[in-house]
Structure 1
């Protein structure tokens, strides 16, 4: 059996607002010079040490924001032209950052003060994972679109595994979006049937006919903090237990790949 499929999540490199801690949703900032160097060093290390085998990368999915797409370019730059030609890069609007609405560009303490001035959070403190953002997205709305993206990626993994293709799919996005995505990958969250027009809609958030659209009859969203950290430029790995696409799991070893003989000894153990 080939290697278990993986989803390698990459948060974009440093921007001026990730450095300052300002909430950056739709604001389209580039990487800082440090952020560019940061991702160049990461790319050099991760391929040179074989944490990621370039020949195993089948797809790259990226948020449409400049900071994410710039990170993709830097991370793929060390690969040969032949290696890059075999990787399909898909820009997917479902992977954009949480839309912060009134909180765009603010710091956490400023958001708390703003909400307090509006008479909110008198009984409990603000929790974005539960309460969402004023004039921005609710947790149900971001959960819905990330559930769509997740379903497409897991469907591709299922196809690749059936075909015997080694498949690392890389996802380039943002701090809140990727922590949310990772939580939905392997935790039940709150499961909701698609009932409203918005939930039943099938928006075409990407343009690539090789990626089948997976229509959802239900989706997942969070109602509390998953307590994950992912700094700018950070990398995480999601995979599956027992080589089974129906058992999504967090790969605690991260991008490190154990020798095949180490992986195989627990491949069939529940």
Structure 2
């Protein structure tokens, strides 16, 4: 859903600078998500990619909206008006309802045929559980085929009604929530930037690049759920823009009840509360009309936070709380993480973004037009990139792929059969480089025991200089009263708040010692693979060359290293104590 449907749409829009109606896109996305959960991914809708059917289905769905009041509040009047030939529900609305009913029944039929499957792409998770639960409550007569057939028919209708309720409620509310979330983030680029930094801490980068075509992994649900700013952004959006701000009616029980300070309320009295009012209590939510995600970043167990959670009513509460609340929150978090890991959004047209006055809201204009722009890779502009997780550029990907094609393989410079071990930096761009470089080798993958990730190859920690270019760093150091006699040089001066040259030296020397201890036993053609491959970064690998040759970091050895480039270090005279740099080499024979 994320890699094959959503991200390609936004990527295409970003590349072409084409604006996107995100409200329509969200309606398609959430319908696909919820229907996949109910009926199985293979059986579900694909409104993201099938644009014509999307417009047809959403049009019919919206046709019914103005008349929901009558079905919910005065169903008897609806029936009576039809009986006397003066229906209050117009024919075109009834036609739209039939379209939706038939479509939902078709999804149920597909799910029914998939009940035996446990394939995650096919298994109709909710439909199957619902049918099992209903089957336990249904008793079939031993010699009553007609009665049994009627019971099974009614069961099918009951399941279809229940799944339809979940499908429509689940898709519409999440779509509205996501629309207002994008709108708020687009108005607050500084929070977009903060969120993007937080998303870069995920162990698995959500991104669609040629690298990810091999992987298509997503972070675990718990890891996404634990991101504090992402959670705060979701909660604050649902507070200020609750998709269902309307009244939630209840009937008081017998013999009497007490509510909100009112005692002895008689039975059968209709009472209600609404999220719109609860979420705007200034004593609980100061400046309630302002979108302030940071209000949710306070300590979890403080009285202030407990009170905010008590008044938060986007999903209701108690026995009739929304059954899909956890699914909706996780869906919104995953989608937001996927989009803002890869794109920046700006507003093109938000006229009519004000919510309609209804039980379930949406923008008055039924649209929100945004433009998406891919994040620019820092390496293109010479920015120092240490801990920040960035994708390889398209040029970098092409260079690595070409290197792998020409220099990696049997009989080539890097022959997997001769490789004893591959050490890879933990940064995602290094992991991606490894995947591309060895994509044609089945024996060397990230799961191989000959491949390990090590912090010793992480790029230089730039500290306060992260994201800066050299001129900015030198200007900053002058502000700090440094470098009055000579300009900053990372090899000598290190980085404020980051690593010194000595700290980088220490971790590289530890790795070099490990490599030489192993290779000392392979100096004279002993059997077995002996080559070591390092996959890391520009500054770090140049530092490694200096330490391999025994030079201090500040030694003026000018080296260049391009993305996908390969350098070779070895030993003179087959002696582990005479490390050397191959200044020129012949390619190995294929024998």
Superposition pairs of residues 80-229 of structure 1, within 5 angstroms: 81-82=442-443, 88-161=450-523, 163-189=526-552, 222-229=553-560
TM-score, normalised relative to structure 2: 0.34
Alpha-carbon offset, residue 232 of structure 1: 2.2
Let me know the Cα RMSD of the aligned residues: 2.4
Superposition pairs of residues 51-62 of structure 1, within 5 angstroms: 51-62=413-424
Q: Residue by residue, what CA displacement relative to the aligned partner does 1:160-202 show, whole Å, maximum 9, x if unpaired?
A: 447433421100111111000011101342xxxxxxxxxxxxx
**Distance (Å, rounded) in 2 between the aligned partners of 1:23 and 1:83:** 30
**Distance (Å, rounded) in 2 between the aligned partners of 1:83 and 1:183:** 28
Q: Does 1:23 align with 2:23?
A: no
Q: Does 1:44 align with 2:375?
A: no
- Residues 391, 429 of structure 2: 8 Å contact kept: yes
SS of equivalent to 2:521: helix
Tell me the equivalent position of 1:231: 562
- Residues 63, 69 of structure 1: 8 Å contact kept: yes
Higher strand share: 1
- Residues 62, 173 of structure 1: 8 Å contact kept: yes
Q: Give ranges in structure 1 of 5+ residues lacking alignment.
A: 1-12, 190-221, 261-270
Cα 1:73–1:239 shift into 2, 3 Å: same
Cα 1:188–1:20 shift into 2, 3 Å: closer
Is the deviation greater in 242-251 or in 163-172? 163-172
Q: Does 1:242 align with 2:242?
A: no
SS of equivalent to 1:60: strand
- Residues 516, 576 of structure 2: 8 Å contact kept: yes
Tell me the equivalent position of 2:232: none
Q: Residue by residue, what CA displacement relative to the aligned partner does 1:185-230 show, whole Å, maximum 9, x if unpaired?
A: 01342xxxxxxxxxxxxxxxxxxxxxxxxxxxxxxxx234421111
Alpha-carbon offset, residue 117 of structure 1: 1.8
Alpha-carbon offset, residue 89 of structure 1: 0.5
SS of equivalent to 1:231: coil
**Distance (Å, rounded) in 1 between the aligned partners of 2:476 and 2:589:** 52
- Residues 60, 88 of structure 1: 8 Å contact kept: yes
Higher helix share: 2
- Residues 60, 87 of structure 1: 8 Å contact kept: no
Alpha-carbon offset, residue 38 of structure 1: 2.0
Tell me the equivalent position of 2:583: 252
Q: Give ranges in structure 2 of 5+ residues lacking alignment.
A: 1-210, 212-375
TM-score, normalised relative to structure 1: 0.72
* Structure with max Cα Rg: 2
SS of equivalent to 1:98: coil
Alpha-carbon offset, residue 134 of structure 1: 0.7
